[in-house]
Amino acid sequence: MLKSARISDAARLSVAPMMDWTDRHCRFFHRLISGQALLYTEMVTAPALVRGNALHLLDFNDEEHPVALQLGGSEPRELAVAAKLGAERGYDEINLNCGCPSDRVQSGTFGAILMKSPALVADCVRAMRDAVDIDVTVKCRIGVDDQDPEEVLPEFLSQIVAAGCERVTIHARKAWLQGLSPKENRDIPPLDYDLVQRMKMLFPNLHISINGGVESIEDAVHFLESGLDGVMVGRAAYHRPWDMLAQADASVFGAASAAQGPSDIVATMMPYIETHLREGGRLHQITRHMLGLFHGRPGARQWRRVLSENATADGAGLEVVERALLAVETAQAA
């Protein structure tokens, strides 16, 4: 585990927790492109860990550091146990999900619906902080449903800060728990960046990262230069990983870039893929996260097509990736 100051610095740019996307294979891939950005797991529910004993959900590779575990839940004692399990496994941060609007999450009384219960969130944060010696953070929305964000967000932040939370990521949109799907909740509610900026003025000692609609490293740098402490990127980093992450180390962290070029990333992934296949894994479990690597470059379409059409086949191996890379190189040479 890394020290708190190191994680706070890494949080200047982070890759959002995304269900069905940011699994350990995705995170390993992203780490090859940026050596500095903070990576997040998919949300793991506390009940699954504590009651279901699904400890395999905590698996990750040491190369992923700095890496944070995002938990879903609303029962303080259960979250404390789950946080301790994560800390024992070596995660650098525990993050509480107060932003996911899906029906499944609502039925478990966690996610965005917790914006309506700031005192409960504070209890959860306090319990987790008492259980672990690593950072406990929160990811939230600016409000839900008919709430007035100007009123509810400062109160929410006040309560979690009083409970010991020192870092928060704010998705600058409301979540509508009824009437909009999770996908629609990522696009339809308007972004209110100014409100997040005002929260930084109200809470100058709170490390605030902004999330939502960030499409480029230039956008991220703009937010940092405007006084925010961090920027969290989501779908743009997943669908255009090279564009979003390759320049991050230099532009955001002032460090040497971890990556040379997209083709070099593929070459570095090969031993990892080979090990996964040897252990009984399937090729597409890894390559599905790599489809956007050449986005906007010659050969991108051929790369996606070869992988999409062949990686799911029984027995698909490294030769599929080699063929996809050859298609890219052929297109680039044309």
Following DSSP, what letter does each residue of 131-167 receive, concatenated? Answer: H-SSEEEEEEES-BTT--HHHHHHHHHHHHHHTT--E
Establish whether 26 is a catalytic residue.
no
Please tell me the distance from the alpha carbon of residue 231 to that of residue 241, in angstroms, as a whole number: 15
CB distance 37 to 13 below 8 Å: yes
Please tell me the distance from the alpha carbon of residue 274 to that of residue 8, in angstroms, as a whole number: 34
Strands 44-45 and 13-15: unpaired
CB distance 220 to 13 below 8 Å: yes
**Half-sphere exposure in the Cβ direction for 181 (13 Å, CA):** 2
234: nearest Cα among 9, 10, 14: 14
End-to-end CA distance of the chain: give it in Å, rounded: 47
| Cβ neighbours for 90, distance < 8 A, ≥ 6 positions apart | 1, 60, 62
14: nearest Cα among 75, 64, 58, 60: 64
CA distances from 147 to 143, 152, 175, 240, 277 (A): 6, 7, 10, 34, 49
Look up residue 42 and give its DSSP letter.
P
Please tell me the distance from the alpha carbon of residue 200 to that of residue 172, in angstroms, as a whole number: 13
Tokens of 290: 């790599």
State the catalytic residue, choosing from 26, 98, 100, 165: 100
| Residues with catalytic function | 100
